[in-house]
Structure 1
Amino acid sequence: MARQLPPARERILKAAARLFQGAGIRATSLDAIAEHAGLTKRTVYYHFRSKDDLIAAYLAARDEPNLALFQCWFAEGEGDAAARVESIFRHLAKAARHPAWRGCGFLRTSVELVDQPGHPAVVAARRHKKRVEAWLAGVFQEGRNGQEAEALARHIMLLLDGAFAVVLLHRDPSYLDSAGEAAACLIRSFALVGAEM
């Protein structure tokens, strides 16, 4: 019996993800995506009105799995919240050591579309980053007021996204390890300040 191929939309998204992550969104044509998916360009347009829609769908499809992965790494970590957040950075540093690693797809896409802040893909990237930040704020809520938890989550996001940028610049994943150590120190310092009040 012949193996059944995944639905066309799924094949297009998988092809787009591979090509966008490897070469970037501007350098990847719809022709290349169609060829990689084993479909016609017309089929691509049947499922996505434009390349912009496909780029936005590519990021939207990464949103939940990426957040779930962070949540999994946090849950599997040992120790207090600081140690568990640090384990997220350690996992990312390990991933960054793989030769195929190209950084955060949400940030890379946003950089490529920096002149289009209302682009649907930039909106999807912002939504994802805000979801991660909100999840972190929820993690930090215990023993803190809402504003403290939100401020701490924002600081961790700055460390996370800053580390992504510096690792790409220097091609040195140890910056993610260092950012994780800084995140753990920051979380513990917030805990000390809260205890003194």
Structure 2
Amino acid sequence: MTPSVPATRDRIVSAAAKLFYSEGIRAVSVDAVAEKAGVTKRTLYYHFASKDDLIAAYLNGRDQPNLALFKRWFSEADGDVADKVRGVFYALAKSARHPRWKGCGFLRTCAELANMPGHPAMKVGVAHKKRVEDWLNDVLEAVGLETRARTLAHQIVLLLDGGFAVVLLHRDPSYMETAGEAAHALVRMELSKTKAAIA
């Protein structure tokens, strides 16, 4: 494979990502993606068998960067694990104040594909959300919350995704901060219970 082949593919995915995130997957045509990427429609279809495959590639390209961002925000926040979990929500709230913020690309895409559960992008979305949950489970287990880690991870993911939805609806990032306070309280309560059991 020549170096130009992956470069062309990456350019197509990058163009699709910008358009899909800003306008939605159904509103954006393959022609529009090809034009933004500076390639012919034929070239686009050389790299992607269908628009569905391109949508899946768009989400797949967001998977690891998004998770890495969550991990960075967590590590950069001061305090214990409860404070760090809250820090992720506050960092998201800060992002939501940017005029180009359009919510969670995974949730928005999956909402558009709700009647197509077997769509390849739905599978990518499910896998991404599971990776976020597994990461939260791991950080909670690491501080001694083994018996409650999975349930807490479920609760935090619900608060995260609920925050995404309500912030997008009201255009008010303070809802994400409120969700962060709720996540902080849940983790703090479990930490207190664990300390009391040990004492």
TM-score (norm 2): 0.94
Give me the whole-angstrom Cα distance separating, in 2, the residues matched to 1:144 and 1:33. Answer: 46
Whole-Å separation in 2 of the counterparts to 1:14 and 1:102? 17
Q: Which blocks of at least 5 consecutive residues in structure 2 are unaligned?
A: none
Instruction: Report the equivalent of 2:184.
Output: 184
User: Could you list the per-position Cα deviations for residues 142-177 of structure 1 after superposition, in whole angstroms to 9, with x for gaps in the alignment?
Assistant: 2122x4111101100000000000001111111011
* Offset at residue 195 of structure 1 (A): 2.8
Cα offset for 1:193?
Answer: 2.3
Residue 45 of structure 2 corresponds to 45
Deviation at 1:99, TM superposition (A): 0.8
**2: distance between equivalents of 1:194 and 1:25?**
46
Q: Look up the match of 1:168.
A: 168
Pairing of 1:1-150 with structure 2 (within 5 A) = 7-141=7-141, 142-145=143-146, 147-150=147-150
What secondary structure sits across from 2:125 in the alignment? Answer: helix
Cα distance in 1 for residues equivalent to 2:10 and 2:105 = 18
Q: Aligned equivalents of 1:91 and 1:140: distance in 2?
A: 19
Percent sequence identity over matched residues?
59
Return the offset for 1:7. 1.3
Structure 1 length normalisation: TM-score? Answer: 0.95
Aligned residues: 193
Q: Which structure 1 residue ranges, 4+ long, deviate > 6 Å from structure 2?
A: none
Q: Which residue of 2 aligns with 1:153?
A: 153
Q: Unaligned regions of 5+ residues in structure 1, if any?
A: none
